[in-house]
């Protein structure tokens, strides 16, 4: 059975600052969508708003899963509806182990919690996470890479319909990234997991086959296309979108800068990029951010 995660005109604020300025995305079962964008473009905000993290105000638009309005639901009901979030910075929960947490999730979902330890062990082995981490307090004293594997283990055990992966690649070495990407692709093939993978590194795309690439700039999707869009971004960076930042970066870079030049607008069209369709015309990447 095919499912659909639909994001329509999503707008959200942090405090009085508008971060998401109208996002449209459609992810179907088995598809892998990758959202790329420079630092500060709103990628994590997008993932948090979808999952229901406190601290954001949704000011417009909808997020539905098979027509179910997720935005009116508390976070745990979104999870129960089939949504999973792998966080960029997974949160430490002192004294609560992965086994405890997922057992509680199983109990509340009417699944037998006795299954959890074996499922966790199997998933840990698949992504090369040492099994002793399964009994440790969640994310406490884990390295960045261990946390990402840990998130992937949880994804595997929970078996959601859709997963939002916020920089699942950061902190992982090449081998770990490969193992994680294999696991995610396995889920898309085996159980039809739909993936919204968010990153600002191209390296994820070397391991994870993407069906669609979207470019997020200043809270808007400014371009969508096939895998070739990523290759192009690799050579030109976000300059074509008026942002002076290379795509492949080793370290955090400064705030994205809007070029604001009308002349650059032509670069954002689809003329120069075969396969890349222009973003919806009502999502003008060069609109005055303060308008």
Partner 1 sequence: MWRYSRISDLDLDSYTLAAPSATVVPPALQPILDAIGARSALVIGGQPVGPVADGLVIGLDDQPAPLGEVAGEPDALVALNAAFCELLTMRVEKGTVLRDPVVVVTWVDGDGTSLFPRTLVNAEAGADAGIIEILASPDVASLVVPVTEVDLADGAHLKYLTIQVLGPRVWQVGTQASRLGRDADFLSYNVALGGDYARVRSESVLAGAGGTSRLLAMFLGDDRQMHDFATVQSHRGKHTTSDLLFKGAVANDSHSVYRGLIRVEKGASGTNAYQTNRNLVLGQGAHADSVPTLEIEENDVRCSHASAVGPIDEEQRFYLESRGVPPEMADRLIVSGFLDDVLERVPVPQLLPWLRATLAERLAQAEAVRP
Ligand X SMILES: Nc1ncnc2c1ncn2[C@@H]1O[C@H](COP(=O)(O)OP(=O)(O)O)[C@@H](O)[C@H]1O
Is residue 174 a contact partner of residue 185, using CB atoms and an 8 Å limit?
no
* Residue 14 touches partner 1, criterion: CB under 8 A: no
What is residue 246's three-state secondary structure?
A: coil
Q: What is the dihedral of CA 239, 227, 203, 244, to 10 degrees?
A: 10
What is the distance in angstroms between the CA of the first residue and the CA of the last residue of the chain? Answer: 43
Q: Under the criterion CB under 8 A, does residue 104 sit at the interface with partner 1?
A: yes
- Partner residues linked to 55 by β-bridges: none
- Rounded distance, CA 231 to CA 218, Å? 21
* Residue 110 in the binding site for partner 1 (CB under 8 A): no
Q: Which does 199 bind (CB under 5 to 8 A by kind): partner 1, ligand X, Mg ion, none?
A: none
82 binds ligand X (CB under 6 A): no
Span of 37-45, 188-196, 246-254, 256-264 interacting with Mg ion by CB under 5 A: 37-45
Comparison of 37 and 194: residue with beta carbon closer to Mg ion:
37
Rounded to the nearest angstrom, the gap between the alpha carbon of residue 258 and the centroid of all alpha carbons in its chain is 23
Q: Which stretch binds Mg ion (CB under 5 A): 48-56, 88-96, 219-227, 270-278?
A: 88-96
Report d(CA 5, CA 193) in Å as an integer.
11
User: Does the protein bind partner 1 through residue 163 (CB under 8 A)?
Assistant: no
- Residue 196 interacting with partner 1 (CB under 8 A): no
Note whether 41 binds Mg ion by CB under 5 A: no
Q: Which of 14, 53, 192, 249 binds partner 1 (CB under 8 A)?
A: 53
Strands 212-217 and 93-97: unpaired
Pick from ligand X, partner 1, Mg ion, none: which does 95 bind, CB < 5 to 8 A by kind?
partner 1
Q: Residue 85 binds which entry of partner 1, ligand X, Mg ion, none, with Cβ cut-offs from 5 to 8 Å by kind?
A: partner 1
Residue 13 as a binder of ligand X (CB under 6 A): the answer is no
Distance between CA atoms of residues 198 and 8, nearest Å: 17
For ligand X (CB under 6 A), the number of binding residues is 11
User: Closest Cα partner for 126 from 195, 190, 199, 178?
Assistant: 178
Smallest separation, CB 167 to ligand X (Å) = 8
For 38, 86, 192, 209, 214, the CA distances from 254, given in Å and listed in that order, are: 9, 24, 37, 29, 21
Please, how many CA atoms are within 13 Å of residue 6, restricted to the half-sphere of its CB? 12
Among residues 7, 138, 177, 193, which is the contact residue for partner 1, using CB under 8 A?
Answer: 138
Q: What's the closest the beta carbon of residue 21 comes to ligand X, in angstroms?
A: 11
Please give the residues from 23 up to 62 whose contact with ligand X meets the rule CB under 6 A: 37, 39-45, 55
Q: Residue 235: which H helix or E strand, with range? A: helix 228-236
Q: Should residue 94 be labelled a site residue for partner 1 when binding is judged by CB under 8 A?
A: yes
Positions touching ligand X (CB under 6 A) are: 14, 19, 37, 39-45, 55
Positions touching partner 1 (CB under 8 A) are: 51-54, 74-76, 78-80, 84-85, 87, 90-96, 100-102, 104-105, 107-109, 137-138, 154, 158
């Amino acid at each position: 059975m095919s499912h659909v995660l639909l994001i329509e005109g999503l707008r959200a604020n942090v405090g009085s600052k508008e971060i998401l300025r109208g996002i449209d995305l459609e992810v179907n079962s088995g598809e892998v969508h990758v959202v790329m964008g420079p630092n500060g473009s709103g990628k994590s905000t997008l993932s948090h708003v979808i999952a229901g993290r406190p601290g954001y105000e949704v000011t417009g638009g909808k997020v539905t899963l098979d027509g179910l309005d997720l935005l009116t639901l508390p976070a745990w009901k979104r999870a129960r509806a089939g949504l999973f979030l792998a966080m960029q910075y997974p949160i430490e929960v002192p004294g609560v182990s992965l086994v405890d947490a997922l057992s509680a999730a199983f109990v509340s979902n009417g699944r037998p919690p006795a299954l959890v330890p074996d499922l966790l062990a199997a998933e840990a082995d698949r992504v090369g996470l040492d099994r002793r981490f399964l009994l440790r307090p969640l994310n406490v004293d884990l390295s960045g890479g261990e946390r990402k594997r840990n998130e992937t283990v949880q994804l595997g055990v929970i078996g959601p319909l859709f997963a939002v992966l916020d920089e699942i690649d950061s902190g992982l070495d090449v081998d770990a990234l490969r193992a994680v990407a294999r696991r995610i692709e396995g889920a898309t093939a085996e159980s039809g997991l739909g993936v919204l993978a968010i990153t600002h590194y191209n390296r994820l795309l070397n391991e994870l086959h993407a069906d669609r690439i979207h470019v997020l700039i200043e809270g808007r999707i400014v371009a969508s296309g096939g895998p070739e869009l990523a290759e192009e971004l690799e050579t030109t960076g976000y300059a074509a979108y008026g942002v002076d930042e290379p795509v492949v970066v080793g370290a955090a870079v400064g705030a994205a800068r809007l070029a604001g030049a009308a002349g650059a607008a032509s670069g954002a069209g689809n003329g120069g990029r075969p396969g890349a369709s222009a973003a919806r015309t009502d999502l003008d990447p060069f609109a005055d951010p303060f308008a």
